C-alpha cells in the first residue's frame, strides 16, 4: 500500500507547480504585454531547465534502476502520450491566433483542452518522488525527500511561468481582469498534481516499472520542449534580429547552467 501522507506530499508538490503557472499572469498587473525578447528568453530558460533535468536527472536515475531498453521504451511511451495530446488539440483547432475571435465560452473550452499538456509534466514530478520517505535525500517536514524530486518540482515550476504568460495573453485580449488571469493560468496546470499522484502510486506499488517511469517522464518532457516550447519561442521571436535565436540560445544556456551544478550536489 502507498502511504496516504506520501500521496498528500506528492499532491502538494504537484499543486505548487500548478500555482507557479499563475505567476505568469503577474506581469500583466504592471504592464500591458511582455516584450517578445523577454518572452523568447523565458521559453529558452524553461527549456534548458527541463532538458537538463531530463537527461541528467530522470534518465540517469532510470539507468541506475534498469536497462537502456527499459528506459527507452518508457521514453517512447512518453513521446506517444504527448503526440496524442497534440492530436487532441489539433482536432479542436486550437491556435493562439483563434483566441481573440473566440467568445468567452469557447475560450474556456480551449483552456480545458490545453490542460492535456500539463499531465506529462505532473508525471515527471510524481516519478521523481519515487524514493520519498526512504533513505537519502533532504529532510523536509519530517520526510526524506529525494534531491531529484526537489529539482524536478523547481524545474516544472519555472517552466510553468512562461506557460502562464502564454495563457494570459489571449485572455487579456478579451478584457479578462487580472485576478481571473491568475486563476485561468493555474487552471490550465491542474492536471499536474493529479498526474504526479498517479505516477507516484504506480512506481511505489510496482518498483520494477521504475525505469520505465523515469524514461516516460523524460521522453514526454523532452518531446514537449522540442515540439512545443522551442517552436513557440521561435514563432514569438520571428520579428526579432536573428529570428530570436540569440535570445533562445541565451535562455537555453542559462537554464542549463542553473540545473547542471544542482545535479551534482
Residue 126 and residue 10 in contact, taking contact as beta carbons nearer than 8 Å: yes
Element (H, E) at 138: strand 138-140
Mean pLDDT of 150-157: 86
Q: Which long-range contacts (CB under 8 A, 24 or more apart) does 137-142 make?
A: 141/9
3-state secondary structure (DSSP) of residue 139: strand
For residue 75, what pLDDT is reported?
93
Cell 524514493 belongs to which residue? Answer: 131
For residue 187, what pLDDT is reported?
84
What angle is formed at CA 148 by the lines to CA 6 and CA 154, rounded to 5 degrees?
90
67-87 pLDDT, tens digit per residue, is: 999 999 999 998 998 788 767
Average pLDDT, the chain: 79
The confidence band for 116, taking pLDDT boundaries of 50, 70 and 90, is low
Higher per-residue confidence, 180 vs 31 = 180
Q: Which are the contacts of 171, defined by CB distance < 8 A and separation ≥ 6? A: 99, 107, 180, 181, 184
180-210 pLDDT, tens digit per residue, is: 888 888 888 888 899 889 888 888 777 777 7
Residue 154 and residue 265 in contact, taking contact as beta carbons nearer than 8 Å: no
The confidence band for 255, taking pLDDT boundaries of 50, 70 and 90, is confident
pLDDT at 51 over 70: yes
What percent of the chain stands above pLDDT 90?
Answer: 12
State how far the Cα of 148 lies from the Cα of 129, in Å rounded to an integer.
Answer: 8
pTM over 0.85: no
- Per DSSP, the chain holds a count of helices (H) and strands (E) of 12, 2
Mean pLDDT of 114-140: 76
For residue 249, what pLDDT is reported?
93
pLDDT at 95 over 70: no
The confidence band for 253, taking pLDDT boundaries of 50, 70 and 90, is very high
Q: Which three cell numbers stand for residue 96?
A: 493562439
State how far the Cα of 136 lies from the Cα of 117, in Å rounded to an integer.
Answer: 32
Amino acid at each position: 500500500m502507498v502511504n496516504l501522507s506520501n500521496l498528500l506530499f506528492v499532491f502538494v508538490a504537484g499543486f505548487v507547480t500548478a500555482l507557479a503557472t499563475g505567476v505568469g499572469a503577474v506581469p500583466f498587473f504592471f504592464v500591458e504585454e511582455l516584450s517578445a525578447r523577454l518572452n523568447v528568453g523565458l521559453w529558452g530558460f524553461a527549456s534548458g531547465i527541463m532538458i537538463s533535468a531530463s537527461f541528467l536527472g530522470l534518465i540517469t536515475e532510470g539507468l541506475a534502476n534498469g536497462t537502456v531498453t527499459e528506459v527507452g521504451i518508457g521514453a517512447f511511451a512518453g513521446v506517444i502520450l504527448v503526440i496524442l495530446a497534440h492530436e487532441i488539440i489539433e482536432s479542436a483547432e486550437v491556435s493562439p491566433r483563434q483566441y481573440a475571435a473566440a467568445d468567452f465560452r469557447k475560450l474556456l473550452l480551449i483552456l480545458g483542452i490545453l490542460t492535456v499538456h500539463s499531465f506529462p509534466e505532473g508525471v515527471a514530478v510524481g516519478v521523481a518522488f519515487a524514493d520519498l520517505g526512504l533513505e537519502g535525500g533532504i529532510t523536509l517536514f519530517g520526510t526524506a525527500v529525494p534531491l531529484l524530486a526537489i529539482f524536478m518540482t523547481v524545474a516544472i515550476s519555472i517552466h510553468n511561468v512562461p506557460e502562464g504568460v502564454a495563457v494570459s495573453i489571449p485572455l487579456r485580449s478579451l478584457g479578462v481582469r487580472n485576478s481571473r488571469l491568475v486563476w485561468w493560468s493555474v487552471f490550465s496546470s491542474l492536471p499536474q498534481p493529479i498526474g504526479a499522484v498517479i505516477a507516484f502510486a504506480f512506481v511505489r506499488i510496482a518498483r520494477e516499472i521504475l525505469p520505465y517511469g523515469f524514461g516516460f517522464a523524460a521522453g514526454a518532457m523532452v518531446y514537449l520542449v522540442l515540439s512545443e516550447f522551442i517552436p513557440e519561442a521561435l514563432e514569438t521571436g520571428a520579428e526579432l534580429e536573428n529570428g530570436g535565436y540569440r535570445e533562445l540560445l541565451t535562455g537555453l544556456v542559462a537554464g542549463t547552467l542553473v540545473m547542471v551544478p544542482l545535479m551534482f550536489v
